[in-house]
């Protein structure tokens, strides 16, 4: 039995990479019976059948898995976010961050369209950037035709499996096309055959870029908190998590509990008011969620 990683899934086949070679595998019938489905990104055991064919026999435990795109074992996400048109929105940014944190995917915040800001707006935004950096997030900024962006992103890809995520219409596809030049070709062929502006669902593939793996399709651009429980929300705000060890009660939700370290940090300004307000709102959304059966 050999071990490899699924890099592409297409028409019922899984393309398993091992030592630079792609082996075209079928899934074993037992996966269907168990309701299990191999995903791109899965580390698998497989058997060979002939020259370049085989069977996926076993899926190794996953670190995480996304539904859109359907990929497992993601390390980080480049979170592409506009500062103007649409305007910078901390609650939307925090929504993305919370979802990524809940999947244990490390976010790299990439703020675009910096050139469109007025001096006053730039001042406000700089303060926000400082806040997020202080929390521990990697924040990078970019503007139109920013030649240095690739040189800054590329080293971050080495040794990691990365997806692109973020708002729609902020340049995710452009960024992806620049990182994976051969995608331009594919997109060109698709738009020729379907006409401009039409979309097609493509398969997902992990492409080797700069010593890492990059998903060739942008990740989620919308979501809800369906999978997050109220007790888990604190852990999705890293600066809360660090401080919450000082809360008197285990499982403190930092609402009305006495001797809450998070509430004290809010008073001293160590936790930002807008971050706490977003936490409160997300917690309420989780409380209001209809129970699942």
By CB under 5 A, name the binding residues for Zn ion. Answer: 247, 252, 254, 260, 262
Q: Which two tokens stand for residue 36?
A: 């299990």
* Beta carbon of residue 260, minimum distance to Zn ion (angstroms, whole number): 3
Of the pair 83, 283, the CB lying nearest Zn ion is at 283
Of the pair 25, 262, the CB lying nearest Zn ion is at 262
* Beta carbon of residue 92, minimum distance to Zn ion (angstroms, whole number): 25
* Beta carbon of residue 104, minimum distance to Zn ion (angstroms, whole number): 22
Identify the residue whose tokens are 């051969």: 182
* Beta carbon of residue 273, minimum distance to Zn ion (angstroms, whole number): 16
Q: Where are the beta strands (DSSP E) in the chain?
A: 2-10, 13-18, 21-27, 43-49, 53-59, 65-66, 71-72, 76-82, 106-112, 138-141, 161-166, 206-209, 212-215
Non-local CB neighbours of 103 within 8 Å, separated by 6+ positions: 64, 66, 74
* Beta carbon of residue 240, minimum distance to Zn ion (angstroms, whole number): 8
Name 209's bridge partners.
212
Of the pair 56, 247, the CB lying nearest Zn ion is at 247
Of the pair 80, 262, the CB lying nearest Zn ion is at 262
Of the pair 67, 241, the CB lying nearest Zn ion is at 241
Alpha-carbon distance of 30 to 36, in angstroms, equals 8
Identify the residue whose tokens are 């590329």: 154
Q: Which two tokens stand for residue 57?
A: 């026999």
* Beta carbon of residue 254, minimum distance to Zn ion (angstroms, whole number): 4
Of the pair 59, 243, the CB lying nearest Zn ion is at 243
Q: Are the beta carbons of 175 and 150 closer than 8 angstroms? A: no
Of the pair 254, 275, the CB lying nearest Zn ion is at 254
Give the length of the chain.
Answer: 293
Q: Which two tokens stand for residue 175?
A: 């960024």
* Beta carbon of residue 46, minimum distance to Zn ion (angstroms, whole number): 48
Cβ neighbourhood burial of 96 (10 Å; 0-12, 13-18, 19+): buried
């Amino acid at each position: 039995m050999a071990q490899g990683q699924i890099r592409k899934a297409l028409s019922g086949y899984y393309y398993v990479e091992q030592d630079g070679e792609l082996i075209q595998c079928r899934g074993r019938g037992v996966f269907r019976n168990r309701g299990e489905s191999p995903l791109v990104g899965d580390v698998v055991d497989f058997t060979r059948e002939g020259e370049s064919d085989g069977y996926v026999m076993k899926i190794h435990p996953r670190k995480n898995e996304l539904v859109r795109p359907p990929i497992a074992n993601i390390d980080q996400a480049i979170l592409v976010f506009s500062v103007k048109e649409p305007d910078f929105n901390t609650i939307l940014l925090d929504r993305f961050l919370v979802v990524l944190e809940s999947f244990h995917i490390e976010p790299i915040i990439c703020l675009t369209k910096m050139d469109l800001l007025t001096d006053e707006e730039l001042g406000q935004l700089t303060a926000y950037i400082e806040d997020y950096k202080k929390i521990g997030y990697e924040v990078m900024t970019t503007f139109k035709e920013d030649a240095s962006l690739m040189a800054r992103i590329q080293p971050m890809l080495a040794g990691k499996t990365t997806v692109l995520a973020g708002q729609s219409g902020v340049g995710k596809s452009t960024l992806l096309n620049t990182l994976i030049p051969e995608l331009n070709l594919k997109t060109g062929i698709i738009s020729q055959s379907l006409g401009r502006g039409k979309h097609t669902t493509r398969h997902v593939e992990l492409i080797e870029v700069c010593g890492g793996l990059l998903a060739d399709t942008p990740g989620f651009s919308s979501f809800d908190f369906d999978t997050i429980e109220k007790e888990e929300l604190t852990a999705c705000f890293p600066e809360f998590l660090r401080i919450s060890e000082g809360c008197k009660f285990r499982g403190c939700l930092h609402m009305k509990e006495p001797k809450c370290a998070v509430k004290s940090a809010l008073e001293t300004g160590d936790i930002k008011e807008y971050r706490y307000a977003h936490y409160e709102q997300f917690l309420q959304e989780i409380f209001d969620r209809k129970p699942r059966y």
